[in-house]
A = this chain, B = another copy of it.
Amino acid sequence: MNKRTKILIADDHSLIRKGLRQVIEANTGFEIFEAENGKKALELIQQEKPEIALLDIEMPEMSGYDVAVKANSEELSTHLVFLTMYKDETMFNKAMDIGIRGYVLKENTVTEITKCIDAVLDGNYYLSPAISDFLVKRNQGSNKPSGKGKEIQELTPTERKVLKQVAEMKTSQEIADSLFVSIKTVQNHRNNICNKLGLHGAHALLKYATENEAYL
């Protein structure tokens, strides 16, 4: 008897698990395992050694990222794929750093899932189109990353720190206190950021910051 390909689905939402299972069953003959939290997921990866594990990043007990780190440290052969709701560049970069083979946004069509599984089983990588911008940025030295939040890369580290707090709707005074600098310094940073991003008028910066909070 030929050994069936094993695949693990780890997500805390049973509906998502059902959806994934349905999609996978309709397109493959894989043996499917389900985990509703990170701990369970890691256990199943260790026990069953599936070819692929689809890991939701946001999970109770243990995040998908932590599972991946642990699985990697134990040199398990399972190919890891992240499923997530958010276009989070930081997380994406962290995922690439630990050798994740696929990164799929849940918002996208279900066909992406099957594409991803196929690609990963063929030894390739699969990234949702919406986040492949990040990869370009990552590999090309990053001067002009296209897509949303592209200009953010022009900012200096301190400017980014300030912008993060602006996104939290802190006042310049509050930001100054938290960074142990003068309010004038913060105000200047705000201005410089506005100039770099081409922002003008009342609340322009605040609006930008909140809308692009995810890419900071």
Number of copies: 2
Partner of A171, one of B22, B107, B203: B203
A169 touches B203 (CB 8 A): yes
B110 touches A15 (CB 8 A): yes
Which chain A residues in 101-135 approach chain B with CB under 8 Å? 106-110, 113
Is the C-beta of A21 less than 8 angstroms from some C-beta in chain B? yes
Q: For the side of the interface on A, what is the size category?
A: 20 to 34
- Which chain B residues border A109 with CB–CB below 8 Å? 14
* Interface contacts beyond A15-B15, A169-B207: sample of 5 additional A-B pairs, CB < 8 Å, sorted by A: A13-B107, A15-B20, A15-B113, A16-B19, A17-B19
B110 touches A14 (CB 8 A): yes
Closest to A174 in B: B202
- Could you list 21 examples of A-B contacts with CB < 8 Å? A13-B106, A13-B107, A14-B19, A14-B108, A14-B109, A15-B19, A15-B20, A15-B110, A15-B113, A17-B19, A18-B19, A18-B23, A18-B110, A19-B22, A21-B22, A22-B22, A169-B206, A171-B201, A171-B202, A203-B206, A210-B210
Is the C-beta of A154 less than 8 angstroms from some C-beta in chain B? no
- Which chain B residues border A203 with CB–CB below 8 Å? 169, 171, 206
Is the C-beta of A66 less than 8 angstroms from some C-beta in chain B? no
Is the C-beta of A159 less than 8 angstroms from some C-beta in chain B? no
Is the C-beta of A151 less than 8 angstroms from some C-beta in chain B? no
CA of A206 to CA of B210 in the docked complex: distance in angstroms?
A: 11
